[in-house]
Amino acid sequence: MIDASTVDWLSEYLEHLRVERGLAHNTLDAYARDLRELATWLSDRGRTLASADTDVVARYLGALGERGLGARSQARHLSAVRGLFRFVRAQRYIEHDPTELLDRPRARARLPTVLSRDEVERLLAAPDLNNPAGLRDAAMLYTMYASGLRVSELVGLELEGLSRAEGLVRVRGKGDKERLVPIGDVASELVERYLHDVRPQWASAREQAIFVTPRGTRMTRQAFWKIVRRHALTAGIARAISPHKLRHSFATHLLEGGADLRAVQEMLGHSDIATTQVYTHVLTDRLQAVHRRYHPRG
């Protein structure tokens, strides 16, 4: 049974949140559930809010993890608990805040979703090269997969940044930093065809963007997202596809082929190689899945 002082402190704190902080009803209910769960856990172990120390609160958070709660849910619990202890300390009900030295639980970084090589081939083959929009779409898809550009970088490419002889594009990335990225022979040929056959019929005289719409204006990120999704459906790819997944696939497939991590970092425009290293985790996960599936003792 939860002791009387804990019940009183919880009620006083929740009233403080309602009146002084003006929290919404649903938010108050969530706080109340989390804090009553803590109070019950303490009571089951012969503890109260007054006797809880840092080790006890840490063990409570650990118990949440053992129950299967993720780092975000644990962090939400900790936020509620920390607020409660700060309040009761401010009221001088306790001398020390046991949550003061506790770190926020860290969520494991989500691994990028990657298209298989077969899915990429089907997506690239989906546009109809015999009509102007299809040729432009193919040029954009090939360029993105061949270079690993961010979608904002792709739609931001300008004519003066294209080096046709070398098969390079000058990209303006995050932090306004510029880099040169190779796009390969196939993408270069499609871009050349598009620039020769389609763009002159569409682009306004002042427009400098490489990729434009039939109205003569530069392509937007939102419009290209719709293009990717439409061609993915044509290619029979049922799962959600976004332009960024082509960037992830570019990096992963390069590393699978033996590319140097530093070179991939340069092409992606990552300032920190730790950001690029997430793709090595993708490879590890895929290798483990293959091992589990095919090895007789997997």
How far apart (Å, rounded) are the C-alpha atoms in residues 97 and 132?
67
Q: Among 35, 229, 56, which Cα is nearest to 137's?
A: 229
Kindly list the distances between the CA atom of residue 291 and the CA atoms of 117, 285, 287, in Å, as whole numbers in the listed order: 19, 10, 6
Of 247, 253, 286, 295, which residue is the catalytic one? 247
Across 164-252, where does the E strand assignment appear? 168-172, 178-182
Q: Among 167, 123, 169, which Cα is nearest to 145's?
A: 123
Q: Is 150 known to be catalytic?
A: yes
Of 174, 221, 262, 291, which residue is the catalytic one? 174
Q: Is 247 known to be catalytic?
A: yes
What six digits make up the tokens of 121?
Answer: 């081939």
Of 179, 193, 244, 286, which residue is the catalytic one? 244
Note whether 32 and 74 are within 8 A (CB).
no
Q: Is 270 known to be catalytic?
A: yes
Of 16, 89, 179, 270, which residue is the catalytic one? 270
Q: Is 244 known to be catalytic?
A: yes
Query: What residues have CB less than 8 Å from 206, skipping those under 6 apart?
Result: none
Q: Is 291 known to be catalytic?
A: no
Note whether 147 and 187 are within 8 A (CB).
yes
Active site residues: 150, 174, 244, 247, 270, 279
